[in-house]
Amino acid sequence: MYSGKTVIAQLLDFLPKRRFDGLVKKYKGNHRTRKFSCWDQFLCMAFAQLTYRNSIRDVEACLNAQPKKLYHMGIKGNPSKNNIAEANQNRDWRIYAEFAQILIAQARDLYQEENPFSIELDNTVYALDASTIDLCLSLFPWAKFKQTKGAVKLHTLMDIRGSIPSYIEITDGSVHDVNILDELLFEPGSYYIMDRGYIDFDRLFRIHKSLSYFVIRAKKNLDFRRLYSAPKMGKASGVRSDQTIKLNGINTKNDYPETLRRIRYYDTVSDRYFVYLTNNFQIPAEVVAELYKNRWKVELFFKWIKQHLKIKRFYGMTFNAVKTQIWIAITIYVIIAIVKKKLDIKMSLYKMLQVLSVSLFERVILYDLLGETRTFSDTGHTWGNTQLSFDDLLASE
């Protein structure tokens, strides 16, 4: 019988603890703290995410039910309700945000070849979108969204090839989606896929000047004049028109003085017409449409984390507590993705979380727990885990 580390301790071995300690020192997270460190806080919140706890009181009860195992897990302080709540309220959320970014960089390297396109492109392709998490305005007065409604927004730039977010920003609900374009550093040669909520021609022209490409849906009231039309393609391609245009609006023609490419496309699956704008004139029109179709992967990411991580019910009501919980939830998502890749686990992310949620304090080798085939010692029967891709999992739910 295996008598080594618990499952949760083996998971924590994949975390760069020294990098975390460096961030704690940078933001003075443990200043005047003796009994409950930032690492203790992180472990308690990670445990809450992995086991789907509903409240801090729930977290306290479950952890204190295993007092002999807390030290081996890494928790040296007292995981009381007051300690966790006070830490979430006062410890700088940037510690956990930057720690998540470190893990995101690792995951992106591991998943570079994951989910390849059906089209061949050497360039990096990003999808940009935002998701709203509703909050009660009376309990979260800082989370301004509408007159009687509160919310926070999760702005995400996702690397499409690996379904791994490369940039995340959390704001209150009143921040318009398009404003996030001011925070991004655009990579030359990369593609940025966006919905029409991000149409701001001054900001789009900044992407163009950065030698990057964008693909975005056009609004119905776009004022333009046609300069050239490419020869019509067959109806089987779905491309109904491929035009070179210039903007006519008083403000828009000044904001974007260069020519744009306007593509009208008919999607047979949804029986709808789509109009795309792009500053790339080299790639085929059907490739532009295919690029935009891949934007749905960022929406699947939002769906996945909302369904399987605790970011819809919060343990604290301050902006700092909410941001801390969201960033730690994202960290859990990324570390599970890293474990899956490094150990070559065939089980889906969803199944991994389900198995881990009831096995954290078990003493079993992590790969044996999540491996492709498990054996029941009492019956001798085996069962296999069907390999599901991230996209297949989300599409089926």
- Report domain extents, the chain: 7-94+315-395, 196-294
CA 165 – CA 193 distance, rounded (Å): 14
Question: Quick one: pLDDT at residue 111?
Answer: 78
Residue 71: predicted pLDDT: 82
Per the listing, tokens 């007092």 go with 67
Of 331, 254, 248, the residue nearest 45 (C-alpha): 331
Written as six digits, the tokens of 228 are: 């050239």
Task: Note the pLDDT of residue 378.
Answer: 37
pLDDT at position 274? 94
Rounded CA separation 196/313 (Å): 30
H-run or E-run covering 96: helix 94-110
Residues 6+ apart with CB under 8 A from 119: 287, 290, 291
What's the pLDDT score for residue 73?
A: 84
Strands 239-247 vs 164-172: parallel, antiparallel or unpaired: unpaired
E strands, 248-385, in order:
260-267, 272-278, 373-375, 382-384
User: What pLDDT is attached to residue 300?
Assistant: 83
Q: The tokens 């800082």 sit on which residue?
A: 142
CB 149 within 8 A of CB 319: no
Phi, psi torsion values for 224, nearest 5 degrees: -150, 170
| Nearest partner of 74 among 43, 51, 116, judged by Cα | 43
The one-letter amino acid at 73: M
Residue 177: per-residue pLDDT: 92
User: What residues form DSSP beta bridges with 353?
Assistant: none
Q: For residue 170, give the nearest of 158, 180, 182 by alpha carbon.
A: 180
Q: What is the chain's pLDDT, residue by residue, as a tens digit (397 residues)?
A: 456 788 998 998 999 999 999 999 999 999 888 789 999 999 999 999 999 888 899 999 999 888 888 888 888 889 999 999 999 999 999 999 999 999 998 888 887 766 555 556 778 889 999 988 888 877 788 888 887 788 889 999 988 877 678 888 988 888 999 999 999 999 999 999 999 999 999 999 999 999 999 999 999 899 999 999 998 877 788 899 999 999 998 899 999 999 999 999 998 888 899 999 999 999 999 999 999 988 888 888 888 877 777 776 788 889 999 999 999 999 998 999 899 999 988 888 888 888 998 888 888 898 888 875 444 343 333 333 333 444 444 444 4
CB contact at 8 A, 62 and 8: no
Q: What pLDDT shows up at residue 119?
A: 56
